Structure 1
Amino acid sequence: MNIRKANLRDYDAVWNIFSAVIRTGDTYVFDPETPVEDLQKHWFANYMDTFVVEDKGKVLGTYIVKPNQPDLGSHIANASYMIHPDAQGKGIGKLLCQHSLDFAKSAGYHAIQFNIVVSTNQAAVELWKKFGFEIIGTTPDGFRHQTLGLVDTHIMYKKL
């Protein structure tokens, strides 16, 4: 598998992943009916770095790294990861996480903070913990889960 910077030729493949992931309404804040035109601002904006992982020429996952806050808060990164549902369970999340940690450190970030990790997404919570992220806060009822209703969200942090 190869992880590389995404380019506009990857737009359709990333949209395929993005739309499949948000459609379930159980892990990301994006409206499951988000139009394709919005992918630009959510995943390809000029202030973020976008990556894809591909295997044999097929894009299986993607992630972004961006400043968590502007200006005086820009030394802390924020990251988001998505893997196509058909490619889950193959260790891609681990590859993307390690790559993002290395990239963020080399880009001069001091830490990475995830602002919203849905508490019911136990696979993600456990993966981030394995990489040294800590839960530094919990927002009660912070997410409108499409099947479970209101569920808590976590803020997770790792110093680089």
Structure 2
Amino acid sequence: MKRSFAIIALSILTLNAHAALNKWVDAEGKVHYSDTPPPDVATETVRNIAGKAKTDAPADHAPKSVAEREAEMRKAKQAKDEAAQKQAQKDAEAEAKKKNCAAARENAQALEQSPRIVTYDANGDRSFMDDAARAQRLEEARKTISSSCD
């Protein structure tokens, strides 16, 4: 019984919430606010609690159809996938550059520290690298280091 009385009382009290809040300025320049506008005075609706006389939402705020939302989701997913592919490609390039740098440093270190370096030709014959070839390879290794290493 108490519960139904409380529900009835609350529903009666909320009937007043359907009124709009109007603002107007009288002849003396005073601003007045009221839920009922006076006759023969231009009023401005400040707040419309009940939603009466609401204008429709602009076209850009209209709810989108399911197909439009799915198309937007597909487009966003495609953009996300493309960004992930670009990032993976950048990561792969950075890793390759890092490996090239390490290999060039090892090559340069071997050329600088070893007194004699053995090379093999296409037939598998072994030969020793002369000083001119060694200097040329060391210069190439240093160029690779300067371009690959930051």
TM-score normalized by structure 2?
0.16
**Which structure has the larger Rg over C-alpha atoms?**
2
Q: Which has the higher contact order (CA 8 A, sep 6+)?
A: 1
Structure in which a larger fraction of residues adopt helix: 2
Higher strand share: 1
